[in-house]
């Protein structure tokens, strides 16, 4: 019995174009591997939909004949499959990227997909910790660790998240040569899209990292990861998440007390202390100011809550 022929979901010319687009995303756009893979899956889902929608594996020319209604039909199908608005918006973003890539090569037009609005997701405000809780998390980060060097490591990582506003991926991608000095200073961070920024490091954060470096039992070559797991390999974000999960149980913190909540806390507490929004945008590495402006809503929410608690007529 012979194996069934593989399912063909796109014509050869479109398959070649999609492969080039994915290389372009990784090599020229310098998107992260996870984002590139997610965009690729979105394109594959769309092409599979078109195979049934137009009755045959689509070609590049078929994409140029699509109308806004065709794209909306795809989004409606994905919504019936259970995708929420944020996932639908990302899916549309990936498809737009592919179509615009082909348009730049003169092979199709993006007019139809540009006419389709992205699904609106309900805006969720960040859930930062209070100042006392954030400080407790950082100071007690290693309280439940069995090894002193693991306790120092967890404390150093969480200090970078709250003290410097780093994403967990940014902290764990630091090499030993990039470790901040014990006295503080500036740290060059590589964020999303390969963009770099300078972040000030407080002496307290520098001391936390230095304490870990003194205790870690593995040799830290300059070009190798700064933070290590118990077997010496690169530290996994999941380990940090689990450490904070145990810690929030011990401290009585809500489930929203996650590593990323420390980054939110960094921004919210800076803003509440009079920090400039543009400066906070640069410190966080946000490409658009609108992304940072969400913290103004968080701070306003905090002020209203404080007013209600303190005002005699509250």
DSSP string, 165-228: ---HHHHHT-BGGGPPPTT-EEEEEE-GGG-EEEEEE-HHHHHHHHHHHHH-SS---TTSBSSB
As for how many domains the chain has, the answer is 2
Active site residue 295: yes
CB distance 115 to 25 below 8 Å: no
Residue 24 lies in a domain: yes
Same domain, 80 and 197: no
Which residue among the candidates 39, 71, 212, 295 is catalytic per the annotation? 295
Note whether 71 and 116 are within 8 A (CB): yes
Active site residue 192: yes
In the residue annotation, 311 being an active-site residue is answered as no
Looking up residue 199, the CATH number of its domain turns out to be: 1.10.443.10
Determine the structural domain holding residue 85 and report its residue range: 12-115
Q: Is residue 205 assigned to a domain?
A: yes
Tell me the whole-structure pTM to 2 decimals: 0.59
Q: Tokens for 232, please give them.
A: 């010496």
Residue 1 lies in a domain: no
Instruction: Give me the tens of pLDDT residue by residue for the chain, a chain 314 residues long.
Output: 343 334 557 889 999 999 999 999 888 888 888 888 989 899 899 999 999 888 889 999 999 899 999 999 999 998 898 888 888 888 888 999 999 999 999 998 889 999 998 777 666 656 788 888 888 888 888 777 889 999 999 999 999 998 888 989 999 999 999 998 888 788 888 887 778 888 888 899 999 999 999 999 999 999 999 999 999 999 999 999 999 888 888 888 888 888 888 888 888 888 777 776 777 777 777 766 666 666 666 565 555 554 455 545 54
Final residue of a structural domain among 115, 147, 165:
115
State which of 88, 115, 142 marks the end of a domain. 115
In this structure, the answer to whether residues 275 and 136 fall within a common structural domain is: yes
The residue from 48, 53, 79, 192 that is catalytic is: 192
286 is catalytic: yes
Candidates 78, 96, 153, 167; catalytic one: 167
Q: Does residue 53 carry a catalytic annotation? A: no
- Establish if 124 belongs to a structural domain: no
Single out the residue in 65, 86, 115 at which a domain terminates: 115
What CATH number does the domain containing 95 carry?
1.10.150.130
104 is known as an active-site residue: no
Whether 284 is covered by a domain: the verdict is yes
């Amino acid at each position: 019995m012979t194996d069934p022929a593989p399912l063909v979901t796109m014509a050869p010319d479109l398959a070649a174009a999609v492969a080039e687009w994915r290389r372009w995303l990784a090599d020229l756009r310098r998107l992260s591997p996870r984002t590139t893979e997610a965009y690729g899956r979105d394109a594959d889902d769309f092409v599979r939909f078109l195979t049934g929608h137009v009755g045959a594996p689509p070609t590049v020319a078929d994409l140029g004949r699509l109308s806004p209604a065709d794209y909306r039909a795809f989004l409606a199908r994905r919504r019936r499959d259970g995708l929420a608005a944020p996932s639908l918006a990302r899916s549309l973003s990936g498809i737009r990227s592919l179509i615009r890539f082909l348009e730049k090569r003169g092979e199709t037009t993006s007019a139809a997909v540009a006419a389709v609005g992205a699904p609106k997701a309900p805006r969720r405000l960040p859930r930062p910790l209070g100042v006392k809780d954030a400080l407790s998390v950082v100071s007690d980060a290693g309280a439940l660790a069995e090894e002193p060097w693991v306790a120092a490591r967890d404390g150093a990582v969480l200090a970078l998240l709250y003290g410097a506003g780093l994403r967990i991926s940014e902290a764990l991608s630091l090499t030993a040569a990039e470790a901040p000095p014990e006295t503080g200073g500036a740290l060059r961070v590589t964020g999303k899209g390969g963009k770099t920024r300078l972040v000030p490091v407080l002496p307290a954060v520098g001391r936390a990292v230095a304490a870990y470096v003194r205790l870690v039992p593995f040799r830290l070559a300059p070009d190798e990861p700064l933070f290590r797991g118990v077997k010496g390999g690169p530290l996994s974000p999941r380990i940090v998440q689990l450490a904070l999960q145990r810690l929030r149980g011990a401290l009585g913190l809500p489930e929203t007390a996650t590593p990323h909540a420390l980054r939110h806390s960094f921004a919210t507490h800076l803003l509440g202390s009079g920090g400039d929004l543009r400066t906070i945008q640069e410190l966080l590495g946000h490409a658009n100011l609108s992304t940072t402006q969400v913290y103004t809503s968080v701070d306003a929410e905090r002020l209203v809550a404080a007013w209600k608690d303190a005002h005699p007529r509250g």
